[in-house]
Amino acid sequence: MTDHAARPATIPGYIDHKDTHLTRLRRIEGQIRGLQRMVETDSYCIDILTQVSAATKALEAVALGLLDDHLRHCLLHAANDPTELEKKLTEASSAIARLVRS
């Protein structure tokens, strides 16, 4: 945590997992293109729905990874500045609420 907190705030919290997130997002892009091909070729509705659920879960995994990075870095980075911390916590809670509700 001290390492994280020592970083300038302009370096994103997910810097150590940037490649992981990009690899996942490229795979999701492939899933979305696969879904387009399924619709174009009149695939069976239920098979498409199964793939939509898989892509949704993959997106959730990206979100949970980014959020974990964010809590570990951005949030703790602000731990010594009460005003900044309050702002960050409110922001993080809103992001979590959006995820839970999406």
Q: Which residues contact its own copies by CB under 8 A?
A: 1-2, 10-15, 18, 21-22, 25-26, 28-29, 32-33, 35-36, 39-40, 42-46, 48-50, 52-53, 55-57, 59-60, 62-64, 66-72, 74-76, 79, 82, 85-86, 89, 91-93, 95-102
Conformation bin of residue 42: beta by default, left when phi > 0, alpha when psi is -120 to 50: left
Q: How far is the CB of 72 from its own copies (least distance, A)?
A: 6
CB of 99 to its own copies, least distance (A): 5
Q: How far is the CB of 19 from its own copies (least distance, A)?
A: 9
Residue 80 burial (10 A CB sphere; 0-12, 13-18, 19+): exposed
Query: What's phi and psi for 78, nearest 5 deg?
Result: -95, 5
Q: Which residues of 13-22 are buried (b: 16+ CB within 10 A; e: fewer)?
A: bbeebeeebe
Q: How far is the CB of 76 from its own copies (least distance, A)?
A: 6
